[in-house]
Amino acid sequence: MAKILEGPAMKLFNKWGIPVPNYVVIMDPERLMQLGEANKWLRDSKLVVKAHEAIGGRYKLGLVKIGLNLEEAYEAAKEMIGREIGTAVVRQVIVAEMLEHDAEFYVSIAGNRDGAELLLSNKGGVDIEDNWDTVKRLFIPLDETPSLEKLTETAKDAGFSGEVAERVAKIASRLILCFDNEDAQSIEINPLVIRKSDMRFAALDAVMNVDWDARFRHADWDFKPVSEIGRPFTEAEQQIMEIDARIKGSVKFVEVPGGEIALLTAGGGASVFYSDAVVARGGTIANYAEYSGDPADWAVEALTETICQLPNIKHIIVGGAIANFTDVKATFSGIINGFRASKAKGYLDGVKIWVRRGGPNENQGLAAIKKLEDEGFDIHVYDRTMPMTDIVDLALKA
């Protein structure tokens, strides 16, 4: 799932003929004034300025300003750019035309196992959740494209009539085209507005998710997806992501501030179960981590050092299932080196380490890490006979 920002979404809408208001994305407020000289709409329309960043609750944070003229938009952009919200910094703003309109509609499409579902309502806008029962649904089977007649029918079901129904159906058909051709997972336009004087439609706000795995067939995807963890990535997270991009297999790392139990776990399935076990036993996780697909030992070493530096941790869970092909001896040698280096730098004071793992060369790997006992580490090593997440129980009882 890869959420993309409004700017790139608008660009894709434009490409597929879905009407959007005029907009520009800028990083420098001065550029807005220059654009104002070149574009009549910037001088003549009411404008909206929004922080073009993956920051939730922008309206409340004062990162959305509406009803502005060009000078006011310039001031708003100047004020927003550079603002720090938690770990995020506003670097871009999107300035769009505030289309004066007569009605707000809701159009969305989302994929499911058998195809996709189109949702239409003539009661769009901020109150859509309250009007959810007015939403009409149309199932679109895989590889099928509904006819304009069918879409018009659905629009009429959803309370549209006459020319508006036909125009909404037309926009819906383009939305389906865009969804299908751009490997989208979901697109939600709310509101889709209409100015009846000239029958002009525009998607004023939109949320779009694309399938990032399909990027190999989209040469024009010049954007990056918004972080999947609900906030911008930290420096440590970005460093691990850079390593991840360079290696066979993978290493992943997400910080969870305030937690006491650090996870240095293997495999996409098992790592989640370790996080669950910590929570189920009343503990708090300091991070999520995962190494899988037999990554290079130096990558695991870097991940280990990153985890050892998490603040205020009391335990490190070196957990994993019985691996199919990840070499336990090799990956553990990375972990051992990481622990040694961290201890030498003064980390791991009073931290207990709990190990459970199996897989190729498990005996050598476990024997090697057990030797850390002799070097003054508070480490407890278990083999495959220990139930996988029970080391979490032991840690939290200790």
The residues that touch another protein, with contacts defined as CB under 8 A, are 1, 56, 111, 113-115, 142-143, 180, 183, 185, 211, 213-214, 216-217, 228-231, 252, 254, 256, 266-273, 275-281, 284-285, 288, 290, 292, 320-326, 358-361, 384-385, 387-390, 392-393
- When the beta carbons of 26 and 286 are compared against another protein, the nearer one is 286
- When the beta carbons of 79 and 183 are compared against another protein, the nearer one is 183
Q: How far is the CB of 274 from another protein (least distance, A)?
A: 8
Q: How far is the CB of 371 from another protein (least distance, A)?
A: 22
- When the beta carbons of 27 and 132 are compared against another protein, the nearer one is 132
Q: How far is the CB of 1 from another protein (least distance, A)?
A: 6
Q: How far is the CB of 268 from another protein (least distance, A)?
A: 5
- When the beta carbons of 82 and 282 are compared against another protein, the nearer one is 282
- When the beta carbons of 153 and 188 are compared against another protein, the nearer one is 188
What are the φ and ψ backbone dihedral angles of 318, each rounded to 5 degrees? Answer: -95, 85
Q: Give how far Cα 68 sits from Cα of 80, 95, 386, Å.
A: 14, 10, 64
The tally of CA atoms less than 13 A away on the side-chain side of residue 227 is 17
What are the φ and ψ backbone dihedral angles of 229, each rounded to 5 degrees? Answer: -110, 20
For the chain, where are the E strands, in sequence order? 2-4, 23-26, 47-51, 64-68, 84-85, 88-89, 93-97, 103-112, 115-121, 136-141, 184-195, 200-203, 206-210, 250-255, 261-263, 287-292, 315-322, 352-358, 378-382
Q: How far is the CB of 301 from another protein (least distance, A)?
A: 19
